[in-house]
C-alpha cells in the first residue's frame, strides 16, 4: 500500500512550528472549519488541492541517481492557481512570453482601489463587480490616453492584474495597471511618447474612475445582476441606494507608483506581483495550539515587518475570501495590447520605434529544470546525495486508487483502498 498524507481532525492541539505551509493549516484545522459552515465546491476544491499538492495522492515519478543509486520520489503538483507551491513555474513561463511585448520606453504603474464599503457586496457578486472594476478602470485609462490635453492623444496599451487581499489577508480589492509610456496615434503613423515625470494626474483619474464604476454598478443592479448581501435582501433597493450614496461622498484611491525606467524593471516587478497568491508559505512562521502566526508588512508604518497571530479557522476563512470564481481571468490586456490586434499593433509600434518587427525568440522552450535553476539557483538534475550523478526517472508512481463518493467534497478524509 502506498502511504500518503490525509486530512486530520483539527482539534486545536496539533502543532507544526517549522517550515509550516498553508497545506498544514488546512490539514490541521480544515475539518473543524467545515463542520460549522456550508462551503461552496470551489472553496472545498482549493482546500483539497492544496492539501494533496506534491503528495502521493497525485502520483509522480521515482528518480534514481545514475552513479550512486540514491532514489527519491517526486510527486505531482495540483496546479491550482491559489496554491502557494504552484506559482513559481507558472510565473517563469508567463514572464518568458511577456518579454516579447515589452518596449524600450518608460512604463507607469497605477493602482485603482475599491472602497471597503463594497466588501460585503463583492462577497456575493464577485464576478459581476470584478468585471465592473476591470471595465471602469480600462475605460478611464483609455479616455485619458485619447485626450491630447493629458499629453498623449492616442491609444494606450496596458495590462491589469487583480489583487483582492492586504498583508493581513483581509479584503482589499484593487487593480494593478502597468501602462506603456506612450500611445499609438489613431492613424497608426506615429508613436507618441509620454511625459517623463508622470503619466496622468491621480486626482482626476480617481474622480472619473468613481463615476464610471458607480454608473456601471447601478446599471447592473437595474438589470437584476447584483445580489444583496445576507439579510438585506428584503430591502435590497433601499440598501443599494444607501450604499451608492456613500460611495459618491467618499474619496476613492488611485495610487501612482514610481515609473519603471526600461523593460527589465517591469519584468522584475511583474515577477514579484503577477502570480501572487493571498499568502506565500514563507510568511507562515508558526502553527501551534489552534493558532497561526504569520508575518506582514505594516504599510502604514514604513513597511516595518510585524507578526500577526490568529485562530487557525480564522486563517482559513481569510484565505478562502480570495478564491476567484472558476475560470475567472485576473490578468487582462487593453488598448493596443488587446488580444484581437496585439500582434499587428506590436509589430507596427516596433517599426515606428526603429526596432525589428519581432524580438528575437529563444530557439526552444526552456525545460522545467532550467527554469528552476534560474529561479532558485538549484540544479534539480544533480543527485542531492553524491552531488555528482544525474537523477533520472526510473518509474512512474501511479495515483493510489481513491474511493470517491457522492459527497467527496464533504469527506473529512481521503480513503485509500489500494
| Structure confidence by residue, pLDDT tens digits, 342-353 | 989 999 999 999
Beta-bridge partner residues of 180: 107
Q: Is the pLDDT of residue 414 over 90?
A: no
The Cα–Cα gap between 116 and 172 comes to 7
**Residue 176: all three cell numbers together:** 494593478
Measured in whole angstroms, the distance separating CA 109 from the mean position of its chain's CA atoms is 17
Compute the average pLDDT of residues 118-127: 96
The model's pLDDT over 262-302, given as tens digits with 9 standing for 90+, comes to: 677 787 777 777 778 899 999 999 999 999 999 999 888 88
Q: Is the pLDDT of residue 366 over 80?
A: no
The Cα–Cα gap between 250 and 237 comes to 21
Give the phi and the psi of residue 286 in degrees, each rounded to 5.
-160, 140
Better-scored residue on pLDDT, 359 or 202:
202
What is residue 6's predicted lDDT score, i.e. its pLDDT?
36
Better-scored residue on pLDDT, 93 or 345:
345
What is residue 361's predicted lDDT score, i.e. its pLDDT?
63
Better-scored residue on pLDDT, 41 or 405:
41
What is residue 216's predicted lDDT score, i.e. its pLDDT?
98
Largest CA distance in the chain: 74
What is residue 39's predicted lDDT score, i.e. its pLDDT?
93
Work out the mean pLDDT of the chain and round it to a whole number.
Answer: 86
Compute the average pLDDT of residues 6-20: 48
Q: Is the pLDDT of residue 184 over 50?
A: yes
Better-scored residue on pLDDT, 302 or 108:
108
Q: Are 96 and 364 spatial neighbours (Cβ–Cβ below 8 Å)? A: no
Measuring CA to CA, how many Å separate 290 from each of 9, 30, 94?
12, 11, 38
What is residue 219's predicted lDDT score, i.e. its pLDDT?
98
Compute the average pLDDT of residues 102-110: 89
* Beta-carbon count within 10 A of 28 CB: 26
Beta pairing, strands 60-65 & 171-180: unpaired
Q: Are 135 and 175 spatial neighbours (Cβ–Cβ below 8 Å)? A: no
What is residue 412's predicted lDDT score, i.e. its pLDDT?
39
Better-scored residue on pLDDT, 411 or 249:
249
What is residue 211's predicted lDDT score, i.e. its pLDDT?
98
**Residue 65: all three cell numbers together:** 541517481
Q: Are 322 and 170 spatial neighbours (Cβ–Cβ below 8 Å)? A: no
The residue whose grid cell reads 514563507 is: 282
What is residue 408's predicted lDDT score, i.e. its pLDDT?
42
What is residue 4's predicted lDDT score, i.e. its pLDDT?
34
What is residue 344's predicted lDDT score, i.e. its pLDDT?
92
Rg (CA), the chain: 24
% of the chain exceeding 90 in pLDDT:
66
The dihedral built from the CA positions of residue 368, 370, 373 and 375, taken in this order, carries a sign that is negative
Residue spans per domain, the chain:
1-86+282-320+395-418, 88-278+325-352
Where residue 356 falls among pLDDT bands split at 50, 70, 90?
confident
The model's pLDDT over 370-387, given as tens digits with 9 standing for 90+, comes to: 766 666 677 888 999 999
What is residue 189's predicted lDDT score, i.e. its pLDDT?
95
**pTM > 0.85:** yes
- Helix, strand and coil in the chain, % to nearest 5: 40, 20, 40
What is residue 359's predicted lDDT score, i.e. its pLDDT?
67
What is residue 235's predicted lDDT score, i.e. its pLDDT?
83
What is residue 401's predicted lDDT score, i.e. its pLDDT?
65
The Cα–Cα gap between 141 and 138 comes to 5
Q: Are 392 and 64 spatial neighbours (Cβ–Cβ below 8 Å)? A: yes
The model's pLDDT over 139-175, given as tens digits with 9 standing for 90+, comes to: 999 999 999 999 899 999 999 999 999 999 999 999 9
What is residue 102's predicted lDDT score, i.e. its pLDDT?
85
Amino acid at each position: 500500500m502506498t502511504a500518503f498524507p490525509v486530512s486530520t481532525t483539527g482539534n486545536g492541539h496539533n502543532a507544526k512550528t517549522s517550515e509550516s505551509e498553508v497545506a498544514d493549516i488546512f490539514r490541521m484545522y480544515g475539518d473543524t472549519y467545515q463542520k460549522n459552515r456550508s462551503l461552496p465546491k470551489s472553496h472545498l476544491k482549493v482546500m483539497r488541492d492544496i492539501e494533496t499538492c506534491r503528495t502521493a495522492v497525485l502520483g509522480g515519478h521515482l528518480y534514481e541517481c545514475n552513479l550512486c543509486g540514491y532514489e527519491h520520489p517526486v510527486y505531482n503538483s495540483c496546479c491550482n492557481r491559489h496554491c502557494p507551491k504552484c506559482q513559481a513555474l507558472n510565473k517563469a513561463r508567463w514572464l518568458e512570453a511577456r518579454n516579447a511585448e515589452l518596449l524600450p520606453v518608460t512604463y507607469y504603474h497605477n493602482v485603482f482601489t475599491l472602497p471597503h464599503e463594497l466588501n460585503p457586496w463583492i462577497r456575493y457578486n464577485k464576478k459581476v463587480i470584478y468585471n465592473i472594476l476591470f471595465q471602469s478602470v480600462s475605460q478611464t485609462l483609455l479616455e485619458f490616453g485619447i485626450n491630447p490635453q493629458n499629453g498623449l492623444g492616442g491609444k494606450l496599451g496596458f495590462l491589469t492584474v487583480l489583487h483582492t487581499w492586504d498583508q493581513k489577508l483581509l479584503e482589499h480589492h484593487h487593480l494593478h495597471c502597468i501602462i506603456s509610456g506612450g500611445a499609438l496615434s489613431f492613424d497608426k503613423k506615429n508613436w507618441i511618447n509620454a511625459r517623463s515625470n508622470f503619466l496622468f494626474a491621480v486626482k482626476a483619474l480617481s474622480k472619473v474612475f468613481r463615476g464610471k464604476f458607480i454608473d456601471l454598478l447601478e446599471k447592473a443592479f437595474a438589470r437584476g445582476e447584483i445580489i444583496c448581501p445576507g439579510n438585506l435582501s428584503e430591502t435590497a433597493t433601499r440598501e443599494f441606494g444607501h450604499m451608492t450614496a456613500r460611495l459618491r461622498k467618499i474619496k476613492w484611491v488611485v495610487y501612482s507608483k514610481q515609473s519603471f525606467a526600461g523593460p527589465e524593471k517591469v519584468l522584475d516587478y511583474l515577477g514579484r506581483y503577477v502570480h501572487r497568491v493571498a499568502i506565500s508559505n514563507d510568511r507562515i512562521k508558526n502553527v501551534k495550539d489552534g493558532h497561526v502566526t504569520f508575518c506582514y508588512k505594516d504599510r502604514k508604518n514604513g513597511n516595518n515587518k510585524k507578526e500577526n497571530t490568529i485562530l487557525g479557522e480564522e486563517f482559513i476563512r481569510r484565505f478562502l475570501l480570495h478564491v476567484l470564481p472558476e475560470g475567472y481571468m485576473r490578468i487582462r490586456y487593453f488598448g493596443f495590447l488587446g488580444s484581437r490586434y496585439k500582434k499587428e499593433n506590436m509589430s507596427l509600434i516596433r517599426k515606428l520605434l526603429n526596432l525589428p518587427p519581432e524580438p528575437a525568440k529563444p530557439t526552444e522552450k526552456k525545460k522545467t529544470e532550467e527554469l528552476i535553476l534560474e529561479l532558485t539557483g538549484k540544479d534539480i538534475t544533480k543527485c542531492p546525495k553524491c552531488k555528482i550523478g544525474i537523477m533520472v526517472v526510473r518509474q512512474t508512481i501511479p495515483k493510489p486508487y481513491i474511493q470517491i463518493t457522492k459527497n467527496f467534497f464533504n469527506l473529512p478524509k481521503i480513503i485509500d483502498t489500494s
